[in-house]
Amino acid sequence: MNVLITGVAGFIGFHVARRLLQGGWKVLGLDSLNDYYDPALKRARLALLTPEPGFRFVGTDLADRAAMESLFAGQTFDRVIHLAAQAGVRYSLENPHAYVDANLSGLLNVLEGCRVQQVAHLVYASSSSVYGLNTKVPFTETDAVDHPVSLYAATKKSGELLTHSYSHLYGLPATGLRFFTVYGPWGRPDMAPIKFARAICAGEPIDVYNQGEMSRDFTYIDDIVEGVVGVLDQVPVPQPDWIPELGSRGQSSAPYRIFNIGAGQPVGLLDFIQTLERGLGIEARKNFLPMQPGDVARTWASTQALRDLTGFSPQVGLEEGVAKFVAWYREFYSPTV
């Protein structure tokens, strides 16, 4: 089977590609290797994929319409896994245009490619951030998600809408996955685990937002990969009997589904920090700060819908996941302590 994975040099894309290559898939990986965070980390991930016989790489920007058209014209894909995006909540206050370019124009180019080629199944990344101002927990796919609190979240929600229109108009089978705070080896340097580990190892204070009164549904990367792989062959079909007033918001009359994908166990920020302190064997100095614009106080995934479809069952608890993250962090960054 041939799969196009966008964002292949990114945290999640790298792990998904590795897993599919092990399973005998042929992977064309796309990434622009942009410098939102250190491209050396992206190149290091890529260096592990490149020797694999089933792997090819294309260094293209999603927003480059001509390049994307020729990519889809030149080869066929059995599946498209679209993970490339401008991620990060806080950066969306500094550089809003990057979000529209990658997450909307870039997505449109992927949708067009899938339409022209009649791809059998598009699986794409959404985000827990679409739950925005919602306070009812756990977050479920049946909840309305109309109040994003960051431009990042707004583009992710818009991406779900753009995809639904293609699914409806052109019968494109599409599955959206709302990822909840993914962590683990080869993670993102703009996210808390690496930011904290760096500061703690350097003896510098860590910034703790909302005075620590926050929780996140931290989800270990291997569980995310299982979830992504698990939906690949669960191709959505049209549901002519579905009606908007009664049906789930995560479904449609079109071949379109949306799933949360998270551990389903929110962890307090201070508990997460303590677990990391234990893993590193160093106590953190904490700099307590107010809530950051664009952030939400808590996230918590209901994953019942995904469990019902695929048997999804996260396996890696926080202590084990953080230990694995720390082992990788120490090896990759070789901090002196």
Ligand X SMILES: NC(=O)c1ccc[n+]([C@@H]2O[C@H](COP(=O)([O-])OP(=O)(O)OC[C@H]3O[C@@H](n4cnc5c(N)ncnc54)[C@H](O)[C@@H]3O)[C@@H](O)[C@H]2O)c1
Interface positions with ligand X (CB under 6 A): 7, 9-13, 31-34, 42, 61-63, 83-87, 102, 106, 125, 127-128, 179, 181-182, 188
- Is the Cβ of residue 100 or residue 270 nearer to ligand X in the bound state? 100
Q: Which residue is nearest to ligand X (CB)?
A: 10
179 Cβ contact list (under 8 Å, min separation 6): 12, 125, 126, 127, 128, 219, 224, 261, 262
- Spatial separation of the C-alpha atoms in residues 174 and 290, rounded to whole Å: 39
Which stretches of 105-214 are assigned E, i.e. beta strand?
Answer: 122-127, 174-179, 182-183, 206-208
53 Cβ contact list (under 8 Å, min separation 6): none
- Is the Cβ of residue 171 or residue 195 nearer to ligand X in the bound state? 195
State yes or no: is 166 an active-site residue: no
- Spatial separation of the C-alpha atoms in residues 212 and 216, rounded to whole Å: 11
- The nearest distance, CB 207 to ligand X, in angstroms, is 18
- Is the Cβ of residue 70 or residue 283 nearer to ligand X in the bound state? 70
- The nearest distance, CB 47 to ligand X, in angstroms, is 14
Total residue length of the chain: 337
- The nearest distance, CB 276 to ligand X, in angstroms, is 16
| Catalytic residue selected from 36, 91, 152, 329 | 152
Start-to-end CA span in the chain (Å):
45
Cβ-contact 333, 187 below 8 angstroms: no
- The nearest distance, CB 238 to ligand X, in angstroms, is 26
- Is the Cβ of residue 124 or residue 256 nearer to ligand X in the bound state? 124
